[in-house]
A and B are shown apart, each in its own frame.
Chain A
Amino acid sequence: MLLKIESVTKKFGGLSAVSDVSLEVEQGTILGLIGPNGAGKTTLFNCINGTLAITEGKIIFDGVDISSKKSYEIAKLGIARSYQIVQPFGNMTTLQNAMVGGFCKTKIYKEAEEIALRSLELVHLDHKKDIIAKHLNLGERKKLEIAKALSTQPKLLLLDEVMAGLTPIEVQEMVRIIHSINASGVTLIIIEHIMEAIMSLSKRIIVLNFGKKIMEGSPEDVSNSQQVIEAYFGVEEEELDA
Chain B
Amino acid sequence: MIKKLIVKQNSVLWIIAVGIIIVPFILPNRYFQDIAVMTFLWAGLATSWNLYSGYCNRLSIGHAAFMGIGAYTSTLLYLNFGISPWIGMLAGGALSALTALLIGGITLRLKGTFFVLSTIAFGEILKVMTITSTEVTSGALGLMIPFQPGFANMIWTGKIPYAILAWIYMLVALFISVKLEKSKLGYSLIALGENQEAAENLGVNSTKTMMTAFILSAVLTSFGGTIFSQYIMFIEPTSVMGLSTSINFILLAIAGGLGTAFGPMVGSFILTPVSNLLRGYLAGISGLHGFILGMILIIILLYRPDGILPQLKLLSKRILQKLDKPKKGE
CB distance from B124 to the nearest CB of A (A): 32
A75, B202: Cα distance in complex, Å: 6
Q: Please name all residues of chain A whose beta carbon is closer than 8 Å to the beta carbon of B199 when the two chains form the complex.
A: 89, 100
Q: Please name all residues of chain A whose beta carbon is closer than 8 Å to the beta carbon of B184 when the two chains form the complex.
A: 103, 106-107, 109, 112
Interface flag for B144 (CB, 8 Å): no
> Which of these, A72, A83, A151, contacts B206 with CB under 8 Å?
A72
Q: Please name all residues of chain B whose beta carbon is closer than 8 Å to the beta carbon of A25 when the two chains form the complex.
A: none
A101, B197: Cα distance in complex, Å: 13
Interface flag for B198 (CB, 8 Å): yes
B:196-242 near A, CB below 8 Å: 197-206
Interface flag for A99 (CB, 8 Å): yes
Q: Which of A15-23, A90-98, A210-218 contacts B (4 or more CB under 8 A)?
A: A90-98
CB contacts between A and B, total, < 8 Å? 72
B261-274, CB under 8 A of A: which get 1 and which 0?
00000000000000
> Which of these, B194, B203, B206, contacts A101 with CB under 8 Å?
B203
A96-135, CB under 8 A of B: which get 1 and which 0?
1001110111110100100000000000000000000000
Across the interface, name the chain B residue whose C-beta is closest to A75: B203
CB distance from B183 to the nearest CB of A (A): 7
> Which of these, B182, B191, B205, B206, contacts A100 with CB under 8 Å?
B191
> Which of these, A70, A100, A149, A151, contacts B188 with CB under 8 Å?
A100
A216, B93: Cα distance in complex, Å: 60
> With A89-B190, A103-B188 given, is the CB distance from A148 to B197 under 8 Å?
no
> With A90-B194, A92-B194, A109-B182 given, is the CB distance from A51 to B201 under 8 Å?
yes
A124, B191: Cα distance in complex, Å: 23
Across the interface, name the chain A residue whose C-beta is closest to B179: A109
Interface flag for A49 (CB, 8 Å): yes
Contact A92 B202 (CB under 8 A): no
A:126-152 near B, CB below 8 Å: 148-149, 151-152
Q: How large is the interface on B (under 10, 10 to 19, 20 to 34, 35 or more residues)?
A: 10 to 19
> With A87-B197, A89-B195, A92-B194 given, is the CB distance from A99 to B203 under 8 Å?
no
Q: Please name all residues of chain A whose beta carbon is closer than 8 Å to the beta carbon of B187 when the two chains form the complex.
A: 96, 99-100, 103, 112
> With A100-B199, A109-B183 given, is the CB distance from A72 to B204 under 8 Å?
yes
> With A103-B184, A107-B184, A109-B182 given, is the CB distance from A151 to B194 under 8 Å?
no
B:6-35 near A, CB below 8 Å: none
Q: Please name all residues of chain A whose beta carbon is closer than 8 Å to the beta carbon of B201 when the two chains form the complex.
A: 49, 51, 71-72, 75, 80-81, 149
Q: How large is the interface on A (under 10, 10 to 19, 20 to 34, 35 or more residues)?
A: 20 to 34
A99, B198: Cα distance in complex, Å: 13
Contact B202 A87 (CB under 8 A): no
CB distance from A148 to the nearest CB of B (A): 6
Q: Please name all residues of chain A whose beta carbon is closer than 8 Å to the beta carbon of B197 when the two chains form the complex.
A: 51, 71, 87
A103, B209: Cα distance in complex, Å: 13
> With A89-B190, A103-B187 given, is the CB distance from A80 to B202 under 8 Å?
yes
Q: Please name all residues of chain B whose beta carbon is closer than 8 Å to the beta carbon of A76 when the two chains form the complex.
A: 203
Across the interface, name the chain B residue whose C-beta is closest to A70: B200
A106, B184: Cα distance in complex, Å: 8
Q: Please name all residues of chain A whose beta carbon is closer than 8 Å to the beta carbon of B200 when the two chains form the complex.
A: 51, 70-72, 75
A103, B182: Cα distance in complex, Å: 11
Q: Please name all residues of chain A whose beta carbon is closer than 8 Å to the beta carbon of B202 when the two chains form the complex.
A: 75, 80, 100-101, 104, 148-149, 151-152
CB distance from A160 to the nearest CB of B (A): 11
CB distance from B87 to the nearest CB of A (A): 32
A100, B194: Cα distance in complex, Å: 12
Which residues of B does A touch, CB under 8 Å? Answer: 182-184, 187-188, 190-191, 194-195, 197-206
Please list 12 pairs of residues, one from A and one from B, whose beta carbons are closer than 8 Å in the complex, sorted by A's number: A51-B197, A72-B203, A83-B198, A89-B190, A100-B191, A103-B184, A103-B188, A103-B203, A104-B202, A149-B201, A151-B202, A152-B202
User: 5 shortest A-B CB distances, which residue pairs?
Assistant: A104-B203, A75-B203, A89-B194, A87-B198, A103-B184
Given A71-B201, A90-B194: 16 more A-B contacts, CB < 8 Å? A49-B201, A72-B201, A72-B205, A75-B200, A75-B202, A75-B203, A81-B201, A89-B190, A89-B191, A89-B198, A100-B191, A100-B204, A101-B202, A103-B188, A104-B202, A104-B203
